[in-house]
Chain A
Amino acid sequence: MTAATPAPRPGRSDARPALHAEVTVTRGSHRVEAAFDALPGHPLAVIGPNGAGKSTLLAAIAGLVPIDAGRVRIGSRDVDRLPPERRRIGVLFQDYVLFPHLTVRDNVAFAARMRGSRHAARSAAEPWLARYGLAELAERLPGELSGGQSQRVALARALAAEPEVLLLDEPMSALDVELRHEMRAELAAHVREFGGATVVVTHSRADAATLADHVLVLESGRVTQRGTLDELAAAPATPYVRRMLARPDDAD
């Protein structure tokens, strides 16, 4: 890890910290309570019906909404009192939320730009652009990108910040159904490469199966089951879990 070559560093999962979260969050009249660990190299899927509080849980971990009680810990670092910019938690937002006024290059360079000059940030972005197949698109604005391209830019932007934890919020929902299958496999490869603690929020069994090792089921703000998909299939704890497992892929 030398400062001069901030290239992507895949495959260091053993050295990366785990995420431990036990939080209570209130949003409006909804209350979400959940506790879990996400280990590096073993992505966790949080699955549940719409309105279960999955995205709220994610936002609370990232520091974007305040928690009522509990703790968020990364390795030995307590981060629940830190502002989002100091948590080192990367987020892939549901519809990516790219900076519309910045080029692909400057979107990817954003985190480095916050720490240094524009010039240094742009050079730091180069390897990320190359790795995610974005070199050709570097000068485009987000408005000129397809959904799949936008997802790649958003992921490169988040990972270029070198986070210790990666949170993905419904990563496939903004894509056309035909694209999902292909992009899901690509995303899964990138997530494996990242190697750090990862949580993916989804309501799709296919996402959970492709992107994650373990599953945590969240219904009405409460954890109703946890385990691998196979374990869930063997003994579904709730009607929702049974329905979710019976549904064909990509049926929303």
Chain B
Amino acid sequence: MALLAGVGLAVLVLPLVALVVRAPWGELGALLARESVLEALVLSLGTAIVATGACLVLGVPLAVLLARAASWPAPGRRLLRAAVTVPLVLPPVVGGIALLLLLGRRGVLGGALADLFGITVPFTTGAVVLAQVFVALPFLVFAVEGALRSADRRTELAAATLGASRWQVFRHVTLPLVAPGVAAGAVLCFTRALGEFGATITFAGSLPGVTRTLPIASYLAMQTDPDEAIALALLLLAVSVGVLLLLRDRWLPGVRG
């Protein structure tokens, strides 16, 4: 038991230790100052922030719907839950292909978009964000839904007897109660968006400064310049861990009281 736990821990930690140990620390500064690296970093941070914002705006209402659906008849409830769950278990590449078939120029929707508005989505920074939202949204929805379910529904009733309208109940009671869930969901969402690779490269392509995010840049660099790839990977690790630490300190104690 303890042995297996130890092995499990090693599986999680040792690869990251190797990454840190083998990093070209001497040249790290120069590597990270490369334009290709900075470009990918800025693009990755920017798209992941926008994607997280979009996930919050779309995901919180979806989580509310999902939590309310608990009282729906089974087929509708299950269908809704499956629709949110599938992207979570789907290989991201499949998500990328599906997005391409929907929004590509010859896609189900993309054709009409191109004809009517002259909008083409693939190969744009917007496509990167869309791919990130597709893979990250379920993380936010489930985190918020879990918080909604564990929140005592009677507090909402109590608020109503004190004169709170539906919106006021949501704003002053429901939302603050699920804030830790929303914060945790947003962190998960952001890190997932930051690490998105498969759906992005399939749907958005890979062009420096436009669609080549950190993970894609790292993957390409691994083929020709492993040092740069390691530097990029280290950067991704640092940003992810940094976000986790920052939001823990700023959010979780505050809302836990």
Contact, chains A and B (beta carbon distance below 8 A): yes
* A143 / chain B contacts, CB cutoff of 8 Å: 257
Chain B interface secondary structure, helix, strand, loop or mixed?
Answer: helix
Instruction: Indicate if A119 sits at the interface (CB-CB under 8 A).
Output: no
Q: How far is the CB of B171 from chain A (nearest CB, A)?
A: 10
A97 lies within 8 A of chain B by Cβ: yes
Contact call A90/B257, Cβ cutoff below 8 A: no
A97 touches B155 (CB 8 A): yes
State A5–B165 Cα separation when bound (angstroms): 25
Establish whether residues B155 and A100, one from each chain, have CB atoms under 8 Å apart when the complex forms. yes
Residue pair B161, A90 in contact (C-beta under 8 Å): yes
A102 proximity list for chain B (CB < 8 A)? 176
Q: Which residues of B contact A158 (CB under 8 A)?
A: 161-162
Size of the chain B interface, CB-CB below 8 angstroms: 20
Main secondary structure of the interface of A (DSSP, over half): mixed
A44–chain B nearest beta-carbon distance, Å: 19
Interface size range on A against B: 20 to 34
Interface string of A159-184 (1 = CB under 8 A from B): 00100000000000000000000000
- Which residues of A have CB within 8 Å of B177? 100-101
Closest Cβ of chain A to B5, distance in Å, is 33
Across-interface contacts of A87 in B (CB, < 8 A): 161
Contacts of A89 in B (CB 8 A): 161
A84 in contact with B173 (CB, 8 Å): no
Chain-B contact segment, one of A24-32, A110-118, A207-215: A110-118
Contact A114 B157 (CB under 8 A): no
Q: Shortest beta-carbon distance, A230 to chain B, in Å?
A: 33
Which residues 111-153 of A sit at the B interface, judged by CB distance below 8 A?
111, 113-115, 141, 143
Pair B165/A101 contact, Cβ less than 8 Å: no
Report yes or no: A62 in contact with B173, Cβ–Cβ below 8 A.
no
Q: Which residues of A contact B (CB under 8 A)?
A: 62-64, 83-87, 89-91, 93, 97, 99-102, 110-111, 113-115, 141, 143, 157-158, 161
Q: Which 4 residue pairs across A and B have the least CB separation, nearest first?
A: A84-B160, A111-B162, A97-B158, A101-B176
| Known A84-B160, A85-B162, A143-B257; 16 more pairs at CB < 8 Å | A64-B157, A64-B160, A90-B161, A91-B161, A97-B158, A99-B159, A100-B155, A110-B162, A111-B163, A114-B162, A114-B164, A114-B165, A157-B162, A158-B161, A158-B162, A161-B162
The chain B residues found within 8 Å of chain A, CB to CB, are: 152, 154-155, 157-165, 168, 172-173, 176-177, 179, 255, 257
